[in-house]
């Protein structure tokens, strides 16, 4: 198997192309200050990730910006502080402020010359629109949790993407390489569906899984 075997690269966006962990930690700072808690970056990411994942399971059709607001209020209750709807909504609307990784733009512009580029993301369309402007590339297709009304790692999201790529572009599963950071959200379901995948290990200098749940076992990946 070689990289040149593929016609399309499908990307997770947040955690892979966009530095969502920095965005999350920055967005939580007003709540952390109000709660006067002392926690490391990874501790904040872990508690956020636990509550975010649970909320995605509970309300799979809820747009991501709204879901972030709900998670913010849950964290406020856990830390026993009062917050307003405005406080929560500011955090929910913070995705456009999340930075791209420094190498994302140049890499995408290069890859665009050789492959179709597709996004499969756990966000809503309005939030991704701002992130897309940071990434500075015209994706051939963008499929969001809002479109599918479920969140990865649901197989439904990948099945939707595979169906759309086949019907809209004539791209078959064997033509696709899925690139992602999250073993839990992306590589586990990709392997279940027989989709080739590439691990972009953004946390290679850090311990733990950050804002994502740890996967069961050791998921396979091809690159």
Query: Comparing C-alpha atoms, which of 128, 103, 97, 115 is closest to residue 13?
Result: 128
Instruction: Tell me, yes or no, if 42 is annotated catalytic.
Output: no
Whether residue 222 contacts residue 198, with contact meaning beta carbons closer than 8 Å, is answered with yes
Q: Which residue has the tokens 């969502």?
A: 20
The DSSP symbol for 215 reads: P
**List of residues 6+ apart from 137 with CB closer than 8 A:** 105, 108, 109, 112, 117
**CA dist., res. 13 & res. 100, Å (int):** 9
Which of helix, strand or coil describes residue 183?
A: helix
Which of 12, 87, 124, 140 is labelled catalytic?
Answer: 12
| Residues marked as catalytic | 12
């Amino acid at each position: 198997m070689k990289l040149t075997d593929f016609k399309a690269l499908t990307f997770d966006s947040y955690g892979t192309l966009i530095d969502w962990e920095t965005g999350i930690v920055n967005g939580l700072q007003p709540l952390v200050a109000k709660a006067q808690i002392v926690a490391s970056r990874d501790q904040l990411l872990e508690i956020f990730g636990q509550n975010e994942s649970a909320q995605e399971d509970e309300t799979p059709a809820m747009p991501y910006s709204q879901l972030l607001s709900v998670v913010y209020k849950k964290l406020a209750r856990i830390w026993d502080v009062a917050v307003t709807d405005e406080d929560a909504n500011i955090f929910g609307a913070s995705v456009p402020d999340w930075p791209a990784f420094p190498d994302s733009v140049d890499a995408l512009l290069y890859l665009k010359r050789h492959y179709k580029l597709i996004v499969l993301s756990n966000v809503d369309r309005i939030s991704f629109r701002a992130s897309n402007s940071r990434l500075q590339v015209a994706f051939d297709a963008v499929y969001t949790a809002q479109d599918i009304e479920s969140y990865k790692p649901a197989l439904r999201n990948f099945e939707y993407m595979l169906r759309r790529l086949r019907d809209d572009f004539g791209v078959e599963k064997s033509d696709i390489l899925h690139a992602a950071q999250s073993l839990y959200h992306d590589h586990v379901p990709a392997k279940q569906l027989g989709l080739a995948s590439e691990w972009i290990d953004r946390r290679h200098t850090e311990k733990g899984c950050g804002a994502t749940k740890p996967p069961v076992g050791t998921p396979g990946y091809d690159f």
